Amino acid sequence: MSTSRTLRITVSTLTRQRPAMLAALIESWGKMALPVDCEITCLVVENDSEPKSVGVIEAAKPLPNGMGLAYVLETEPGIPFGRNRAAKEAIAAGSDLLAFVDDDEIVAEDWLLKLIAAYRQSEALLIGGPLRVKQTPRKLSFIDALMDKCIARRYLRKETRAARRADLTGTPGVTIVTNNWLAETSVFEKHGIWFDEKMRFTGGTDSKLCAEVKAAGLPTAWAADAAVYEEIPLERLAVSYQFKRGRDQSSTNYSRKLEGQPSAKYNVLVSVPIKIVIICGLVIALPFTGGRTLLDVVRTSGWVAGRFDALLGRRSDLYKTVTGD
């Protein structure tokens, strides 16, 4: 929303049992350049049965750039409960804007500058930005190293596609998710759009919220130069994890579609055979591409499995397990 007034901003992350990664994120918060005419507080929402990250937060104070650093414990398990708690805290603090990043990320020094510039130059109530892979020197097996490169290429493809489709005037064909996210608190307070707490462990609540914002006719935007960087934990390089992630995301998205349009169940009669043909082609391409299609094979196979999970009424529990440290 175009404005030159002083903005009150809450920058938040949801964390659970990742002390080293959380410390790295907070360190990057402390290095951020701060936009003018802004009052900014960083907020850590710990989603656990008891406080386990307080020591990490206290050790980081004071942040070098002078931002405040706050902490709350949300004992109701599940990502949407933690996200909604952050929104409630931001509203209670009188914040105009709420930003989210994940606790396995770090932000670029100019991240908030770029994000707030995009907000001030647009009419958007919800803004997203690109996620990139943080290059971490480490010893990997052949398969893990191959998967690591595949994931980095996938992120780059998604960033390139988003930059081509979306800008400060709208985000057609692009989903804004909470790994790099900014919204007016009015989305919650005025328009009544919240993260769906029925989707406790499934993931996808940010995608659903984005769809609801667009369905309500609220403007969205894309800040192509406001980057955050994700460290990929070793566990996520496993073929089994990537299959499950593809399966569960497919199941969650298709379940949401079936709720609004039950006849969509017949789509699998066309989409699944097409995907199977694509998988066969990707497998054949493996030796000719030096393994570049490995992640696509795994994720597309997961996509097919997820469609059947949705038809059978199985719900994802992807986010019951914490990966990374």
Task: Give tens-digit pLDDT for 253-284.
Answer: 898 888 888 888 888 889 999 999 999 999 99
- The token pair at 178 is 């909470």
Q: Could you tell me what percent of the chain has a pLDDT over 70?
A: 96
Sequence ranges of the domains in the chain: 7-235, 239-320
Q: Does domain 7-235 have CATH number 3.90.550.10?
A: yes
The pLDDT of residue 325: 66
Confidence of residue 2 (pLDDT cuts 50, 70, 90): very low
Exposure b/e, 270-307, CB count within 10 A at least 16 = b: eeeeebeeebeebeeeeeeeebebbbbbbbbbbbbbbb
Cα-based distances in Å from 167 to 21, 66, 71, 140: 30, 31, 33, 37
Amino acid identity for residue 152 in this structure? A
Amino acid identity for residue 121 in this structure? Q
- DSSP secondary structure letter of residue 170: B
Whether 236 shows a pLDDT value over 80: the answer reads yes
The pLDDT of residue 3: 55
Residue of higher predicted confidence among 315 and 200: 200
pLDDT digits (tens, 9 = 90+) for 7-32: 999 999 999 999 999 999 999 999 99
Helix axes 142-165, 294-311, angle to 10 degrees: 70
Mean pLDDT calculated for residue range 313-321: 69
User: Measuring CA to CA, which residue among 131, 175, 129 is closest to residue 155?
Assistant: 131
The pLDDT of residue 201: 83
Residue of higher predicted confidence among 318 and 147: 147
